[in-house]
A and B are shown apart, each in its own frame.
Chain A
Amino acid sequence: MANFEFVLPPAPTSNVKPIFGEQDLIRRSASTITPPAKRQTEVAKLIDVTKCIGCKACEVACLEWNDLHHEVGSNTGVYDNPPDLDPDIFTVMRFTEWVNPETKNLEWLIRKDGCMHCEDPGCLKACPAPGAIVQYSNGIVDIDHEKCIGCGYCIKGCPFNIPRISKVDHTAYKCTLCSDRLAVGQGPACAKACPTHAIVFGTKDDMKKHAEGRITDLKSRGFRNAGLYDPPGVGGTHVMYVLHHADQPELYAGLPSNPTISPIVELWKGAVKYVGLSALGFAAVVGVLHHLVVGANRVTAEDEDNAGKLKQGRS
């Protein structure tokens, strides 16, 4: 059946090579792999926060596509519901009421939160289970639930506070960028459901180009600092935002202004890992060497005699 999308801003899926799999991995947690010779075209989801009306259709589409059953919660004094990401919901709207000090106007900033699919994924770096988190050459970071052990290290590795551990199967859940849909040539479910095309999906280059047009439009409406959020600290992301106030991403429910993998995680998964293991090996070697050089520290007959004398002296 025909649809109207062709008259809307581009949702370019045509350039995306949809089929990808194991052979296209460029990173695999706790493993060393040889990346494929040819990298696939990088894809990206562009979330135009300035077009988003917070209708949550993407949330429902995500629940339905991923066959998730979320509990009916309660109102906590805000529109955010469910209030946070959890294993049964991979994307949530975060609503912020902000009075722009320059214009004195209220702005209602609504950001769709979820996995950013970092080019340098902190979750993958932190993951101890080989192959539990993988990155495809098109940029998608995905979790293999068969291999995930539920340790939650990915939570600590993530600069965006995204993965959540299920209380049911004790594995980590997050947005897959609909890798299963993409693999068969479909766009992400959220983008498909978005009524205002605030969510568009395509090659990363196309998405950047599309964002440029949006930013020009926003600047014409007085948003001088409109811009694209594609943070270099994590090598760029495969989920990007168009923001009215790109100079202050924290306004959008704490979107980090310069996200990087935490230096603590880098230390833990870098120097400590290597130095620690080496230290243990070194200690073992020193022991062996010591024993070879010094030999056993034995009790001599003299010691026993002296002990005997001591006892007798006492008795």
Chain B
Amino acid sequence: MTNSWTDIKNTDLVVIMGGNAAEAHPCGFKWVTEAKANRGARLIVVDPRFTRSASVADMYAPIRQGTDIAFLFGVMNYCISNNNVQWDYVKAFTNAPYIVKEGFDFHDGLFTGYDETKRDYNKSTWEYELDADGYVQADDTLENPRCVWSLLKKHISVYTPEMVERICGTPKDKFLKVAQMISECSSPTKTMTSMYALGWTQHSKGSQNIRAMAMLQLILGNIGVRGGGMNALRGHSNIQGLTDIGLMSNLIPGYLTIPTEKEATLEVYMSTRGFKPLRPNQMSYWQNYKKFFVSFQKSMWGSAATAENSFAYDWLPKLDLPSYDVLRIFELMHQGKVNGYICQGFNPLLSAPNRKKLTAALSKLKFLVVMDPLQTETARFWENHGEFNDVDSSKIQTEVIELPTTCFAEDTGSLSNSGRWLQWHWAGGSHPAEGRNDASIMAQIYLRLKALYEKEGGPVPDPIVKLDWRYKDPAAPTPEELAKELNGSALEDITDPNDPTKVILAKGKQVVSFAALRDDGKTACGCWIYSGCFNEAGNNMARRDTNDPDSTGAYSTWAWSWPVNRRILYNRASSDINGKPWDDSRKLLWWDGAKWTGYDVPDIAPTAKPDVVGPFIMNPEGTGRLFTRGMMRDGPFPAHYEPFESPVVNVLAPKVRGNPAARVFKGDMEQFGDAEEFPYAATSYRLTEHFHFWTKHQHNPAVMQPEFFVEISEQLAKEKGIKSGGWARIWSKRGSIKGKVVVTKRIAPLTCDGKTVHIVGIPLHWGFMGETRKGFGPNSLTPYVGDANIETPEYKAFLVDIEPIPGPVA
């Protein structure tokens, strides 16, 4: 989230698209209810299904899954055509005026530079024209045909209401109503918030779905303001923390990146990071990259990381591939190239796509370690559970080791919520006899590994042997110790640069924030964005003060949010070019003539003059990007692409299947089905009664939704002769499942490009372990392909067929 849950109460319009907040985030949804009840805010839901969110919405519009970009560009086109643009914001705070290089273009669904054999682009033209000083050229009139604004207008002109209806199946009148409601938020005194989740991310163009809405929000001037923003609703209580801490194959904590093989030295590594400003006088915050990186290295290897050894740069692993995401790792496993897999708090057998392939892959491992508080399906992948897990156990030689862990309620620590708040919590109960918390298990594994390396040596023992492991009990680091390490501390006395005799931070003290970090090895910090969470003021994450001056919804003294307790990112954009708030009734940050002041921690240097430094300081140009240059693999603008399995062809580019830049492994392309064989558009989703694959292990939630089912429209039910409450078989090119059928008005057939499209809804909470009845999940059917940028699998749009079957004999 750019904003926070509590900030949603400040909005005028909530758009839930690519998510189902009421269903999947009912507790956070209270802030929508709050905005509706106290501000008269309106709620729009755009979804293939009439969801629980839709049940309390003011406006619902249906959409075919996987066509969000067409819809959003349709809205953007409507806004621009009707002059519903917050011009002052667009001109000052976005890259709309910047001139793009000659040669950049878009034809037949492809941007310039596409290489079909590599399924990748040469992105050299996806760049601004720079002047002699290295600054971008701009046309403040927005009239230059090569400026971002002109290119954008041209790019989206095809998305007329008629085209939206043709692609998305959204009736024109409903689309126009939605567009009209959204366009009103171009007023500086009206804001819209976007709440989205996996409905946007789990597509082969998931990142671009989000980009499209972010662009719309920029045009409407809704980024950085109260009640606005791009608000990703995270699917686990600490999934925000997972990405923050860098638990991804290509990241280290704080969104720093793992070096690639080509970056053999720290100098080379740094040469492509720490971007220089692209506008005069602009602040480019990533110029501090080295301070964060070196401090991270110091937190890892302490005194063993020295200037002489480039702060142990060599000890970091180097990527030979862009990433080892879940699809890649299971692909490698499937090829027999993985020996062991540690599965910590993760149930891939149900949550990764194409279950048949997953089972085959896991069967090729030598060992599988599962760390979980529950008996997961993954831990029992080898066990025959009849049709629910039809494996021949005698043929599987994988050794499975289960290490029972504590669950969140049994340990102390912090959870990072969707709004980037780190909220400390305390153990509410003790764990069952054999359970241990994850940190102590990892410590035990580490200590044994270290002992082995010390005893036996090996090619590169240093990264393990020299790891800085100064915990009071090395076998069980405490949450407080780990949190302090993330915050960072001074390793030596740090003196005032102007007065070397003056110690500003004594050795051993916690740093106040990342502003104190250094690139000379005098500070250590495990995760720079978390710096400030546990400083000399104490554990800020444990704060529970509900004081909220002027009821802005910031709650700045409740817990702690990254970065530096900032509640709304880009908050400088809440005021105009002169630092005057866009909306006096919703002031957030303003220029008092000498400095920035307001309710939130400024997302800019406090004395940076408003008309000089742009608000988006994480971008070297200082502006929000309508055109992302080469940052995205699949295009500097989003474009409508059909899902890899789509009931209709891409009407804008019939030759393009799926997202042309999405990675497809050898053999998986053949496993995509087409509409002739599999006529129905399926989608997967969650139900409010359950939390992923967890609450099915708990009795009461199991009572609330006891049994797996699929949902279809009354029309499809009639066509197929399927009865509500009856049984059906659903199959895709990759697998077959069966379940009860819920026939509902909430899923209606759509008409896309003249063709009737029936939708099959498949919720995902059932497996063969736990308290509920045994059942199947959509991942037995879903295709093995992910988003072009971050490889989130395409769970939301695929093709199936369905037929009625007799129920099992009881």
| Residues of chain A whose beta carbon lies under 8 Å from any beta carbon of chain B | 1-4, 6-9, 50-57, 59-60, 63-64, 69-79, 81-82, 97, 99, 105-110, 195-198, 214, 217, 220-221
Q: Are B745 and A53 in contact, CB atoms less than 8 angstroms apart?
A: no
Those of B73-92 within 8 Å (CB) of chain A: none
Task: Name B689's contact: one of A3, A51, A56, A64 (CB within 8 Å).
Answer: A56
Q: Does B699 contact A (CB under 8 A)?
A: yes
Q: Are A4 and B546 in contact, CB atoms less than 8 angstroms apart?
A: yes
Task: Name B724's contact: one of A56, A78, A82, A107 (CB within 8 Å).
Answer: A78
Q: Does B743 contact A (CB under 8 A)?
A: yes
Q: Does B706 contact A (CB under 8 A)?
A: yes
Q: Are A108 and B55 in contact, CB atoms less than 8 angstroms apart?
A: yes
Q: Are A72 and B773 in contact, CB atoms less than 8 angstroms apart?
A: yes
Which residues of A have CB within 8 Å of B745?
A: 97, 99, 106
Q: Are B37 and A9 in contact, CB atoms less than 8 angstroms apart?
A: yes
Q: Does B544 contact A (CB under 8 A)?
A: yes
Q: Are B702 and A72 in contact, CB atoms less than 8 angstroms apart?
A: yes
Task: Name A77's contact: one of B22, B42, B52, B742 (CB within 8 Å).
Answer: B742
Q: Are A77 and B40 in contact, CB atoms less than 8 angstroms apart?
A: no
Contacts A55-B688, A72-B699, A196-B33; is A81 near B704 (CB within 8 Å)? yes
Q: Does B402 contact A (CB under 8 A)?
A: no
Which residues of A have CB within 8 Å of B748?
A: 106
Q: Are B52 and A74 in contact, CB atoms less than 8 angstroms apart?
A: no
Q: Does B410 contact A (CB under 8 A)?
A: no
Min Cβ gap B773→A in Å is: 7
Task: Name B688's contact: one of A54, A64, A71, A97 (CB within 8 Å).
Answer: A54
Contacts A75-B740, A106-B50, A108-B55; is A60 near B704 (CB within 8 Å)? yes
Provide 7 A-B residue pairs closer than 8 Å at the C-beta atoms, listed in order of the A residue: A53-B55, A54-B55, A73-B703, A76-B725, A106-B746, A109-B55, A196-B30
Task: Name A60's contact: one of B34, B546, B551, B701 (CB within 8 Å).
Answer: B701
A55–B705 Cα distance when bound, in Å, is 11
Task: Name A72's contact: one of B60, B709, B771 (CB within 8 Å).
Answer: B771
Q: Are A72 and B744 in contact, CB atoms less than 8 angstroms apart?
A: no
Closest residue on chain A to residue B708 by CB atoms: A75
Q: Are A75 and B688 in contact, CB atoms less than 8 angstroms apart?
A: no
Q: Are A97 and B37 in contact, CB atoms less than 8 angstroms apart?
A: no
A99–B748 Cα distance when bound, in Å, is 12
Which residues of B have CB within 8 Å of A73?
A: 703, 706-707
Q: Are A217 and B54 in contact, CB atoms less than 8 angstroms apart?
A: no
Q: What 0/1 readout, one digit per residue, does chain B (719-760) give for beta carbons within 8 Å of chain A?
A: 000011110000000000000111111101000000000000
Closest residue on chain A to residue B723 by CB atoms: A77
Those of B1-38 within 8 Å (CB) of chain A: 6, 9, 22-23, 26-27, 29-30, 33-34, 36-38
Q: Are A53 and B26 in contact, CB atoms less than 8 angstroms apart?
A: yes
Closest residue on chain A to residue B9 by CB atoms: A7
A7–B707 Cα distance when bound, in Å, is 38
Closest residue on chain B to residue A6 by CB atoms: B546
Which residues of B have CB within 8 Å of A57?
A: 26
Closest residue on chain A to residue B56 by CB atoms: A53
Q: Are A81 and B55 in contact, CB atoms less than 8 angstroms apart?
A: no
Closest residue on chain A to residue B27 by CB atoms: A195
A217–B56 Cα distance when bound, in Å, is 13
Min Cβ gap B756→A in Å is: 18
Which residues of A have CB within 8 Å of B707?
A: 73-75
Which residues of A have CB within 8 Å of B6?
A: 4
Q: Are A79 and B742 in contact, CB atoms less than 8 angstroms apart?
A: yes
Q: Does B53 contact A (CB under 8 A)?
A: yes
Closest residue on chain B to residue A109 by CB atoms: B55
Closest residue on chain A to residue B546 by CB atoms: A2
Q: Are A69 and B726 in contact, CB atoms less than 8 angstroms apart?
A: no
Which residues of A have CB within 8 Å of B53?
A: 53
Closest residue on chain A to residue B51 by CB atoms: A108
Q: Does B700 contact A (CB under 8 A)?
A: yes
Which residues of B have CB within 8 Å of A77?
A: 709, 723-726, 740-743
Min Cβ gap B3→A in Å is: 16
A71–B703 Cα distance when bound, in Å, is 7
A239–B773 Cα distance when bound, in Å, is 34
Task: Name B700's contact: one of A1, A63, A79, A108 (CB within 8 Å).
Answer: A63
A7–B551 Cα distance when bound, in Å, is 9
Min Cβ gap B424→A in Å is: 12
Q: Does B772 contact A (CB under 8 A)?
A: yes
Which residues of B have CB within 8 Å of A52?
A: 56
Q: Does B58 contact A (CB under 8 A)?
A: yes
Closest residue on chain A to residue B547 by CB atoms: A2
Q: Are A108 and B746 in contact, CB atoms less than 8 angstroms apart?
A: yes
Min Cβ gap A14→B in Å is: 18
Min Cβ gap A237→B in Å is: 23
Those of B497-513 within 8 Å (CB) of chain A: none
Min Cβ gap B45→A in Å is: 11
Min Cβ gap B590→A in Å is: 24
Q: Are B26 and A195 in contact, CB atoms less than 8 angstroms apart?
A: yes
Q: Are B725 and A75 in contact, CB atoms less than 8 angstroms apart?
A: yes
A81–B688 Cα distance when bound, in Å, is 12
A57–B52 Cα distance when bound, in Å, is 14
Min Cβ gap A52→B in Å is: 8
Q: Are B26 and A196 in contact, CB atoms less than 8 angstroms apart?
A: yes
Give the one of A52, A54, A77 with max B CB within 10 A: A77
Task: Name A55's contact: one of B34, B42, B52, B708 (CB within 8 Å).
Answer: B52
Which residues of B have CB within 8 Å of A75?
A: 705-709, 725, 740, 742
Q: Are B703 and A82 in contact, CB atoms less than 8 angstroms apart?
A: yes
Which residues of B have CB within 8 Å of A72?
A: 699, 702-703, 706, 771-773
A221–B33 Cα distance when bound, in Å, is 14
Q: Are B30 and A8 in contact, CB atoms less than 8 angstroms apart?
A: yes
Q: Are B58 and A221 in contact, CB atoms less than 8 angstroms apart?
A: yes
Which residues of B have CB within 8 Å of A51?
A: 33, 37, 56
Which residues of A have CB within 8 Å of B742?
A: 75, 77-79
Q: Are A108 and B54 in contact, CB atoms less than 8 angstroms apart?
A: yes
Which residues of B have CB within 8 Å of A99?
A: 745
Min Cβ gap A60→B in Å is: 5
A109–B38 Cα distance when bound, in Å, is 22
Closest residue on chain A to residue B739 by CB atoms: A75
Given contacts A72-B773, A99-B745, 14 further A-B contacts (CB under 8 A): A51-B33, A53-B56, A55-B689, A72-B706, A73-B706, A75-B707, A79-B742, A81-B689, A81-B706, A106-B50, A108-B50, A110-B52, A196-B30, A220-B40
Q: Are A50 and B56 in contact, CB atoms less than 8 angstroms apart?
A: yes
Which residues of A have CB within 8 Å of B37?
A: 9, 51, 214, 217
Q: Are B706 and A8 in contact, CB atoms less than 8 angstroms apart?
A: no
Min Cβ gap A73→B in Å is: 5
The 10 closest A-B CB pairs, nearest first, are A77-B725, A77-B724, A108-B55, A53-B22, A75-B707, A196-B33, A75-B740, A97-B745, A195-B26, A55-B26
Min Cβ gap B189→A in Å is: 19
Contacts A72-B772, A74-B707; is A56 near B50 (CB within 8 Å)? no
A8–B53 Cα distance when bound, in Å, is 19
Q: Are A53 and B29 in contact, CB atoms less than 8 angstroms apart?
A: yes
Min Cβ gap B695→A in Å is: 10
Closest residue on chain A to residue B52 by CB atoms: A53
Q: What 0/1 readout, one digit per residue, does chain B (668-700) give for beta carbons within 8 Å of chain A?
A: 000000000000000000001100000000011
Which residues of A have CB within 8 Å of B27?
A: 195
Which residues of B have CB within 8 Å of A105?
A: 60
Q: Are B54 and A69 in contact, CB atoms less than 8 angstroms apart?
A: no
A112–B742 Cα distance when bound, in Å, is 21
Task: Name A97's contact: one of B58, B704, B705, B744 (CB within 8 Å).
Answer: B744
Which residues of A have CB within 8 Å of B689?
A: 55-56, 81
Closest residue on chain A to residue B62 by CB atoms: A106
Which residues of A have CB within 8 Å of B702?
A: 72
Contacts A8-B34, A106-B50, A106-B746; is A81 near B60 (CB within 8 Å)? no
Min Cβ gap A65→B in Å is: 11
Which residues of B have CB within 8 Å of A107?
A: 55
Contacts A75-B707, A97-B744; is A197 near B33 (CB within 8 Å)? yes
